[in-house]
């Protein structure tokens, strides 16, 4: 059994959930495979209409689902409502795009008749994380379902409730078995990924688990889309215009969800000439926008980290940084209604005085501890920002947009923001994903939908149609 505690109130059990056995996974995937064979024959416009109706039903459940997510993950309630609402928006976006994007492509001219169809894979295994469970699950469900696939979701054992409820709402509008949840840890994920009827894997999570998932899937020649971790660098150039609003946006880009976001700012590079000014601006902004407390208490803008293990790891990382010469600057305030001793709370801090080789800088810390590093030239900071095996996101901040774009083009990242970072810089129609060790494939945008189909071609070359000129038996095509 999975017993999930509230990370803000560890004496409160949010849910007790049975773990799926290998036999359970087999039954669910087998049912999904049978349902998908009927679903894929439904015209895409009709599939889209069904999902739009499901989106309306899901919208009516946003508040209840958001509260469940706040209790199980420690995400503040307002943020949880925002995520649940955005998941509905994603579902509507892909239902709206699919009829045009997945339409059969036909070319019929002197070159011949060529038809390109977009074939769904079949059963997609979606293995999803705890930190943004609704949106990171919906980014697989929405395009996968409208494309004609079945989806079996394996949520994180740290966030089993909200995802299951979201899938339950969707399932009431879909053929029985087409979408389902299996709960559990690594063994359940392995059973799902290795099932002989699993045709594709979609995974979001850490790079260690991602490598294991990719290796397992590849043994069966099952394709995968992986969105893994990042060690995102934010680069503040010497001409950065850091208004109060800019500073608040920067603070939240680093510390929203207690810094537990794959595309959060993890390293902050500031031109040496502006360092003291920027530090003062961040401290002032944090005093305005960061309030650590119980996610369900009004006024809280940052909750706990997800587990005791995470809190212990972060505290050890900070302690090591201080021993190694770093200096900590504590940020923000505490909600007076909240008792931080009840949960896994880690106060947000900036750390100065470290070099790039320190573990707090060199690895993704995934928590509310942000190293701040000075630089002297653009050449230097580009080299330092790129000196990582990860390449998910990055940002450049400058009063000169053209200059910012020039620097951004030199950063090794799948998505680079200008004068913002994290979710405020996202665009639903822009593909998002990593390079290097941050994974492959894309979510969001049209590319996020096309991950769930395979182009299949029927071709009658003009040379061999009635009246065609013909070609030699071993000839190469000419068009």
Calculate Rg over the CA atoms of the chain: 24
One of 72, 262, 443, 451 is an active-site residue; which one? 262
One of 67, 72, 227, 451 is an active-site residue; which one? 227
Nearest to 192 by CA among 274, 100, 128: 128
Q: Alpha carbon of 201 to those of 207, 444, 479: distances in Å?
A: 15, 17, 36
Q: What is the DSSP string of 174-222?
A: S-TTSEEE---SHHHHHHHHT-TTEEEEEEES-HHHHHHHHHHHHHTT-
Q: 417, 191 in Cβ contact below 8 A?
A: no
- Contact residues for 82 (Cβ-Cβ < 8 A; gap 6+): none
How would you class 466 by CB atoms within 10 Å of its CB: exposed for 0-12, middle for 13-18, buried for 19 or more?
exposed
β-partners of residue 201 are 125, 224
227 carries an active-site annotation: yes
How would you class 440 by CB atoms within 10 Å of its CB: exposed for 0-12, middle for 13-18, buried for 19 or more?
middle
291 carries an active-site annotation: no
How would you class 1 by CB atoms within 10 Å of its CB: exposed for 0-12, middle for 13-18, buried for 19 or more?
exposed
Please give the positions annotated as active site: 227, 262
């Amino acid at each position: 059994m999975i017993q999930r505690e509230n990370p803000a109130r560890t004496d409160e059990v949010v849910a007790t959930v049975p773990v799926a056995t290998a036999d359970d996974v087999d039954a669910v995937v087998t049912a999904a495979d049978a349902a998908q064979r009927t679903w894929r024959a439904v015209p895409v416009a009709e599939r889209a209409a069904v999902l739009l109706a499901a989106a309306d039903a899901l919208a009516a459940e946003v508040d209840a689902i958001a509260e469940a997510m706040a209790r199980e993950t420690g995400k503040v309630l307002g943020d949880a409502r925002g995520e649940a609402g955005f998941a509905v928006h994603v579902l509507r976006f892909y239902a709206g795009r699919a009829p045009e994007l997945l339409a059969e492509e036909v070319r019929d001219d002197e070159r011949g008749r060529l038809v390109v169809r977009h074939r769904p894979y079949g059963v997609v295994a979606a293995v999803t994380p705890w930190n943004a469970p609704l949106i990171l699950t919906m980014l697989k469900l929405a395009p996968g379902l409208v494309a004609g696939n079945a989806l079996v979701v394996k949520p994180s054992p740290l966030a089993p409730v909200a995802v299951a409820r979201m899938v339950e709402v969707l399932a009431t509008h879909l053929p029985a078995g087409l979408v389902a949840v299996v709960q559990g840890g690594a063994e359940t994920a392995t059973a799902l990924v290795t099932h002989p009827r699993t045709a594709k894997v979609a995974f979001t999570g850490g790079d260690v688990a991602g490598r294991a998932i990719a290796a397992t899937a590849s043994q069966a020649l099952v394709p995968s889309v992986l969105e893994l971790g990042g060690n995102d660098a934010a680069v503040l150039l010497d001409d950065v215009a850091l208004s109060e609003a800019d500073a608040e946006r920067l603070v939240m880009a680093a510390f929203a969800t207690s810094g537990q976001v794959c595309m959060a700012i993890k390293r902050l590079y500031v031109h040496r000439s502006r360092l003291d000014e920027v530090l003062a601006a961040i401290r002032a902004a944090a005093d305005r926008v960061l309030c650590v407390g119980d996610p369900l208490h009004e006024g809280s803008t940052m909750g706990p980290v997800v587990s005791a293990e995470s809190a212990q790891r972060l505290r050890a990382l900070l302690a090591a940084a201080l021993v190694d010469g770093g200096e900590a600057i504590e940020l923000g305030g505490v909600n007076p209604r909240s008792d931080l001793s009840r949960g896994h709370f880690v106060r947000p801090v900036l750390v100065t005085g470290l070099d790039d080789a320190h573990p707090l800088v060199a690895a993704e810390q995934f928590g509310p501890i942000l190293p701040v590093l000075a630089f002297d030239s653009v050449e230097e900071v580009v080299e330092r920002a790129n000196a990582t095996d990860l390449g998910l996101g990055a940002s450049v901040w400058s009063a000169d947009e053209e200059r910012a774009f020039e620097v951004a083009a030199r950063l090794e990242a799948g998505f680079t923001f200008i004068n913002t970072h994290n979710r405020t810089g996202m665009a639903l129609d822009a593909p998002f994903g990593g390079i290097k060790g941050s994974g492959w494939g894309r979510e969001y945008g049209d590319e996020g939908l096309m991950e769930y189909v395979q182009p299949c071609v029927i071709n009658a070359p003009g040379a061999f149609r009635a009246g065609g000129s013909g070609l030699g038996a071993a000839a190469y095509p000419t068009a």
